[in-house]
Each structure stands twice: as structure tokens, then as C-alpha cells.
Structure 1
Amino acid sequence: MTTSSVSAFVQQLSAVSSVPGCNNFFDNNDPANAQRRSNLGIYLQDMMNRAPKVLLLGEAPGFRGMRITGVPFTNRTMFERAANRFGLFGAGKGYALPAEAWAVAAEPTATVMWEVLAELEFLPLLWSACPWHTHVPGQPLSNRTPTGAEARLGTPFWVSLMELFSIETVVAVGNVAHRSLLRNGLDAPKVRHPAHGGRSGFKRGLEELFVTGAVPSPPGR
């Protein structure tokens, strides 16, 4: 994956129009979205250098997480603190937050996700089946499970990432992602989503995939 391919991917993502109940926080209609596009580009470039072969595909961004930062499964506090266990995010990495971030509480699911990945010493590429913020129409500070149609619109983007990163294994994180993969002929394994008390199930699911060989074990395990 080259710099130009990262830029092309982000541009393609930004070209999708927002509609009531489904906000594309990368589009060109909000100046703050330029910062989110930049953050996503930094993340993808950094991951390109790490060459992950596993993609964890979540459901959709939350209004306190990727909707604010532009990066899958992150929240504003990750950009404020030191870099995490993998050397991602944190001060000095080039990420910046739009002004609106300071009024929004941090998404707890992102914290749980990265805690578990650090414990497992496992660094996959992260993305969502529907990469836009789905919410109750008229209530932008809410989260809504994406419809099948919304997930289908997101399919070309995770397919592109699989190709750009030469992904060998995809793991669905939750039901929306699993259905999206099945619709496209991928009988991928599924693990519990870490949200809403799902931490232990999420971790246990990944550990089981390592044991069975469905997902390559991280080095040192």
C-alpha cells in the first residue's frame, strides 16, 4: 500500500454523501472533517509499515469514537496520552482533534479494544462494515445499528483494504460485520463485540482463534 493508494482510499470514502441518519464524517461539507481525513491517512500509513495480515471488521463508528477521531476504534483520550503499547496514536504521532472533540466523552469501547489487543500482543488492521456514523435521524449524538443496505454501501471499502494490505484473514467483530462478510462469500470467524460488557468474550474469542489456527498467533505466544 503506497501513499497515493492511502490518499485515494480516503478520497473515495469522503465522496460518499451523508443522508439523514447516516453521517459521513469524512465528507467535504464540514471543515472539521479534514482533520479526520488526515488522522485516518496517518493511521493507514502507519499500519502499512507494520504489514498486518489480519483484519478485524467491526460494525459502525460510534459518536464518541471514530465519529470524532476519524480512526477506527479510537477515542479522543488516545490522542491526548502517550502512544499506546504498539506505538500508535499519542503525542508526536501527527494526530490532531477537531475542536468539537473536547465536548464529547471518550468512547469506552475503544479503550477496551486496545487493552485486549495489548494483552494479546496482537495488532490487526481495524475497520467497520459500515464506516459511517449511523444514528437515530435528528439525534446525531446517538448510535444506531446499521441496516443491511448501509452495510452493503460500506462493502467496497473493506474489500479495498483487504486488497491494499494483502489481508489473509478477516475476523468479524459482532453480527453486522459477520452478515456483511457472509453476504460477500466470506465464511469468516466471528468474535463477541467488546462493547456492553463484551470484553472477556471478545478476548476469549480471539484466544480461541489463535489456538485453532484460524488466526495466526502473535509472535511470542
Structure 2
Amino acid sequence: MTGQEIRDFVERLGTFQTGPSSRNFFSTELPENAARRHNVTRYFEQMLERRPAVLLVGEAPGYRGMTVTGVPFTNKALISGHDPFGMFGPDNGYLLPPEVLTVPAEPTATVMWNVLADLDFLPLLWSAYPFHPHQPGRTQSNRTPSMPEIAAGTLFWQDLARLFKIDSVVAVGNIGHRSVTASGLDVPKIRHPAHGGKELFRRGLQDLLDTGAIRRSQ
């Protein structure tokens, strides 16, 4: 993946038109989204240097997580620099969107990164639907993405897998698995870390690493 390919990918995110009850927090139509486009670009730049071999595909961004920060499975604490890998924060080129001051931190993001740090494993992270599906009229809520939304998101994770030369895709939870298998791939599924799933998520990743089903890096 080159710098131009990163910019082209982020531009596609920014110009994607979401349907009803779904928010594109990268949209180029709103100036406040520029910080999120900047942050996801910075994330891709860092991950390009780390050469991940694995792509984890989750469900969709939540209103307290990526919807605020622009980076998959992060929250305001992580993007501010309180992350176990030392990747984020203003010193590493990240911007703090205004919502960081008002929206509570998404707990699942912290669980995700703590487990990855415990395993010394840093895959590329993404979602089956990379925009924010919410309840009608309630932007500060979450909902499961619909099948058309999942289908619309497929090309994004597929392009990331191609651009980063990913060896293995792992589905995180049922929605991620539904998206990946619908594309014709037979991939492992592990428990999503949300709602008390931390230990099963950790065990699933650990088993895949221990058996050699996935590699730590290229």
C-alpha cells in the first residue's frame, strides 16, 4: 500500500453516501470530519510500517468509539495517547476531534487493545460496515448493520486486505463473520470482546496464534 493508495481509500470513505439511520463520520461534506480522515490516514501509515499479516473484521463503529476518533476500535482515551502500544496521541500525529471532550469512552475499545498488547500482537483492524448505524433519530445510539449495509461495506475491508497484502482474515463476532463468509471466504471466527467477551476473545486469538493458523506479521 502506498501513500497515494491510502489517500485514495480515505477519499472513498469520505465520499460514501450512507442510507437512513447511518452516519458517515468521514464525510467530506462536514468540515469537522477532517480530523477523523486525518486520524485514519495516520493509522494506516503506521500499520503500513508494521506490515500486519492479519486483518480482524468486526461489526460496525459505535457512537463512543471510532465514530468519534476515526480509528477502528479506539476511544477518546486511546486516541489521546493512553494506549499500550504507544501509537496514538498528538505526539504521534493524531488529532483530537471536539467530541472527545463530551462523549464517554467506549469500553470495548480498551478491552481490544489491552488484549492485543497482552498477546504482543497487532493486526490491522476494521469493520464489516465502516460507518455508524444508529437507531432512527438517535445518533447517540448503536444498532446492528443491515444486510445491505454489510454488503456495502464489503469492498472496503476487501480493499484493505489487498492493499496491505494481508495473509489471513479473522472475523470478530457474528456480523464480521457474516460479511466475510458472504464474500466466499472460509475464515475463523472468534468471540467479539464486547458484553463480557474479553476472555473468549483473548482465548480465540491465542489459539489461532499458538496453532500457527495466523502469523504475527509478514
Coarse TM-score class (shorter-chain normalised): over 0.9
Tell whether 2:201 aligns with 1:202.
Answer: yes
Aligned to 2:180: 181
Question: Hey, what's the Cα distance between the residues in 1 that align with 2:104 and 2:86?
Answer: 23
Deviates more, 1:177-186 or 1:86-95: 86-95
Question: Hey, what's the Cα distance between the residues in 1 that align with 2:128 and 2:183?
Answer: 12
% identical equivalent positions: 53
Deviates more, 1:196-205 or 1:206-215: 206-215
Question: Hey, what's the Cα distance between the residues in 2 that align with 1:39 and 1:62?
Answer: 16
Question: Hey, what's the Cα distance between the residues in 2 that align with 1:97 and 1:91?
Answer: 8
Aligned to 2:144: 145
The SS at the match of 1:32 is: helix
Q: Deviations over 1:77-133 (max 9, x none)?
A: 112235x33231124011112212211000000000000000000000000000000
Gaps of 5+ in 1: none
**Does the CA-based 8 Å contact 1:64-1:105 persist in structure 2?**
yes
Question: Hey, what's the Cα distance between the residues in 1 that align with 2:55 and 2:29?
Answer: 30
Q: TM-score, normalised by structure 1?
A: 0.95
The SS at the match of 1:55 is: strand
Question: Hey, what's the Cα distance between the residues in 1 that align with 2:93 and 2:205?
Answer: 30
Aligned residues: 218
Aligned to 2:28: 28
Aligned to 2:132: 133
Deviates more, 1:207-216 or 1:132-141: 207-216
Q: Deviations over 1:178-201 (max 9, x none)?
A: 011111111110000000111001
- Counterpart AA for 2:121: F
Q: RMSD value over aligned CA atoms?
A: 1.4
- Counterpart AA for 1:58: G
Aligned to 1:103: 102
Aligned to 1:50: 50
Aligned to 2:73: 73
**CA 1:204–1:142 in structure 2 vs 1: closer, same or farther (change >3 Å)?**
same
The SS at the match of 2:31 is: coil
- Counterpart AA for 1:20: P
**CA 1:90–1:12 in structure 2 vs 1: closer, same or farther (change >3 Å)?**
same
